[in-house]
């Protein structure tokens, strides 16, 4: 990925990208580098020197928000949509009544 700089371009190597992916495991490094590239492209007056690009990108990655972790469920909800599913009909009835009671108290 070639970043536009004050004079010319700076090449982000695959090795540097791989190193940052190890250092920042909770950040989508490739996506953040693309955002940084877009910023450099859109702000020609604020472009960095090639010697300062690593520092610029490290600061960018330090401010990046961690990726959201997606929960995966191996169990399916029961017939009433309860998750975790009820173990038996008696538990499910209690749960439905408790939810109805909570709804009534909201009003």
User: What is the number of residues in the chain?
Assistant: 107
3 and 9 in contact (C-beta within 8 Å)? yes
What is the rounded distance in angstroms from the CA atom of residue 81 to the CA atom of residue 10? 53
Q: What is the pTM of this model?
A: 0.62
| First-last CA distance in the chain | 57
Helix/strand/coil for 66: coil
Distance of CA 45 to the CA centre of its chain: 30
Asked whether the predicted pLDDT for residue 70 surpasses 80, the reply is: no
Residue with tokens 């995966």: 72
- pLDDT tens for each residue of 91-106: 878 888 888 888 888 7
């Amino acid at each position: 990925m070639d970043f536009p700089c004050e004079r010319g371009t700076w090449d982000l190597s695959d090795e540097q990208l791989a190193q940052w992916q190890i250092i920042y495991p909770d950040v989508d490094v490739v996506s953040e580098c693309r955002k940084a590239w877009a910023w450099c492209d859109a702000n020609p007056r604020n472009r960095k020197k090639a010697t300062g690009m690593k520092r610029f990108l490290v600061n960018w990655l330090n401010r990046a928000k961690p990726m959201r972790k997606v929960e995966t469920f191996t169990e399916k909800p029961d017939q009433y949509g309860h998750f975790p599913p009820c173990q038996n009909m008696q538990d499910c009835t209690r749960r439905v009544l408790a939810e109805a009671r909570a709804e009534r108290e909201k009003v």
